[in-house]
Each structure stands twice: as C-alpha cells, then as structure tokens.
Amino acid sequence: MRFKFLVVNIILCLFFNSFSFADEKRSGINFYTGMFDFSDDGKRATIYGIEHQNENLYRDTIFGRISPVTGAMITADSATYVYTGIEANYSLGALNVTPSFTPGWYRQGDGKDLGHPLEFKSEVQLSLDLSEGTNLGMSYNHVSNASLGDKNPGANSYMFNFLKRF
C-alpha cells in the first residue's frame, strides 16, 4: 500500500511541476496506455503510465536534441516501474520520433517476474502534431535487466500516447 502511495505522489509532483514552466512551453506530460509484455501470453497485462518530459533542460549534441524524462507506469497486475533517463527529439515536419533510454526500479506485484529490481527501458515513440503543444502517438519499448539477475526474460510493450506541452 505504501508503494502505491509513493507512486501517486510522484505522479502528482510531476504533474504539478510541469505548470512551473508554462511560460516557456517546453515541458510536457505524456499520458499513455497499452499492453505490457504483449509477446508473453501468460503475463500480458494492460498498462497505464505518465511521463514528464522537460525540454527546458535540453542539450544539443551530436546525437540530436537530448532532454531528461521521468515517469511511472503500472499494469493491471499491479507491477510498477518508476524511471528516469534521457530522450532524443527529432522532428520531421508534423511527425516526431522520440527514442529514449530510462533506467528504473521495477516491482513485480502480481505481474511478470523480470528477474531484478533494476531494469532498463529502451523505447521509441512516433507522434503526430495535432496542434501546437499537443501530440498523439504510439510507442514500443523493451524492459530488461541486462542480465543483472539470475534470469532476464524482458518485456515488450506497446502504448498509445497523448502528449500535452505546457
């Protein structure tokens, strides 16, 4: 119960923190839902999540525009993942490509045993600009512990994303 309280508090902090950047129109909240571990019939579960994307802290690098991202997700089986990392942002007209890498803490709940509490999420998101500051997209990710644990089954997920910048 305390863990769910912690996750809710993190999500609320991320949400209310985004309003402090309203004048710069560079921070965003990404709400998503989809299917966690769609490739495993035994542990497939609906997933819900939220991300805070802070483009105010971006850096232009040889890999493109890099910025921090922080988020949390929970499955219908009460598995949770809280993460923070980096994302690159590439804009191709109205189409946006956003790959990211985010290490985080995974808790199994009644969901899939991924073998270790420390997991790494690699993701790519494709989104379309609906209007200034609003995007709709789809993403795919893979969560793995990089063989830190005795087992490393990994999980492949897809999500539908709604991103709103403030």
- 98 burial class (0-12, 13-18, 19+ CB within 10 angstroms)? buried
Residue 90 has pLDDT above 60, yes or no: yes
* pLDDT at residue 20, as a whole number: 38
pLDDT at 62: 86
Q: What is the pLDDT of residues 7-39, one digit of tens each?
A: 555 554 444 444 433 334 468 999 999 999 999
Average pLDDT, the chain: 87
Q: Tell me the CATH number at 119.
A: 2.40.160.20
* pLDDT for the residue numbered 166: 82
Could you give phi then psi for residue 5, rounded to 5 degrees? -60, -45
- The pTM of the full predicted model, rounded to 2 decimals, is 0.82
Domain residue limits at 110? 2-38+46-165
How many structural domains compose the chain? Answer: 1
Which residue pairs from 135-143 have beta carbons closer than 8 angstroms and sit at least 24 positions apart in sequence? Answer: 135/96, 135/161, 135/162, 135/163, 136/160, 136/161, 136/162, 136/163, 137/96, 137/161, 137/163, 139/32, 139/34, 139/98, 143/81, 143/106, 143/114, 143/119
